[in-house]
Amino acid sequence: MKIVVCVKQVPDTQKVQVDPETGVLIRQGIDTKMNPYDLYALETAFRIKEKTQAEIYVITMGPDSAKAVLYESMALGADDAWLMSDRRFAGADVLATSFTLAQGIKTMGHVDLILCGKQTTDGDTAQVGPAIGEVLKIPHVSWVRKLIDADEKGITVLQEMMDSVAEVRLNYPCLLTVEKGIFEPGLPSYLKMKEAKKKDIHLLTMDDCECRDIRRYGLSGSPTQVEKIFEPSYDLESVRLEGTSEENASALYDKLLELKVFEGGKKHGTIGN
């Protein structure tokens, strides 16, 4: 049995800049880390391996620096790693990213299960995982909060939706995106990190993909583009009230009305304890 976990290197900060010409994040010169949600997908894979003796592969798309999250994955317990790196992949939106990762997964031969974190902290779309499933034409389930059972033929999970919870059984091949907290992720030891960095990472470019149409990759294959990203402003105004409880309550209510916190404009009743 073969499990593939999709991981991503994301900025380790909320202060990022955007290229005004392309609308994509400028990632050079900023600290990075593994996308936190991907750690839950990895831990889920390790738990399934305990039941099925599966091989666990990890894949990511990015520059050479993205090898860091692949080494971390292998230090945690993954068996092998693939890096999709090509200047022609740059600037990809959800559609181009999912298509590219699907092409990379195809190069691995038969895959039983693909696991993704719920979303990434830099994009927050939660769409890449399901989109990979659509490209590969395999069943997929999102918002998985619990692993009920896994065997050599399929997997049973608990899917949490907004107003309901469903128990779902899927036969392989299939794809899941898992929620934060499905399992407690482990931490790689220093020795395991040293051992992992001695392992080879498979490099894939567009020339290794089944589809080599440049119009499907990077900016060329991205029908959507971020027009503007900005850091939210935080305005804080402090008001100190002095008086009796009734006076302070009345003054606070008047201030909330002034700020249009309440609908309407008339004060009614009495604010008590």
Q: Which residues of the chain have pLDDT under 50?
A: 265-273
Helices 128-136, 94-106: crossing angle, 10 deg rounding: 50
What is the C-alpha separation between 133 and 176, in angstroms, rounded?
Answer: 9
Residue 230 burial (10 A CB sphere; 0-12, 13-18, 19+): exposed
What is the model's pLDDT at position 64? 94
What is the C-alpha separation between 92 and 194, in angstroms, rounded?
Answer: 32
Separation in Å, CA 55 to CA 4, 104, 164 = 8, 17, 33
Encoding tokens for residue 68?
A: 């860091």
What is the model's pLDDT at position 267? 47
Tokens 């850091």 found at: 231
Tens digits of residue pLDDT in 83-128:
999 999 998 999 999 999 999 999 999 999 999 999 998 878 899 9
Separation in Å, CA 221 to CA 20, 90, 91, 215, 266 = 19, 10, 9, 5, 55
CB 209 within 8 A of CB 66: no
Neighbouring CB atoms inside 10 A of 73's CB total 28
What is the C-alpha separation between 62 and 27, in angstroms, rounded?
Answer: 11
| Cβ-proximal residues to 117 (8 Å cutoff; 6+ apart), any chain | 6, 7, 35, 36, 37, 38, 39, 40, 41, 129, 177, 178
What is the model's pLDDT at position 259? 78
Tens digits of residue pLDDT in 82-91:
999 999 999 8
What length is written for the chain? 273
What is the C-alpha separation between 90 and 187, in angstroms, rounded?
Answer: 30
The domains found in the chain, sorted by start residue, are 2-221 (3.40.50.620), 237-273 (no CATH)
Separation in Å, CA 32 to CA 94, 207, 212 = 20, 28, 30
CB 93 within 8 A of CB 227: no
What is the model's pLDDT at position 270? 44
- Its pTM stands at 0.80
What is the model's pLDDT at position 11? 86
CA-wise closest residue to 96 among 17, 10, 211: 211
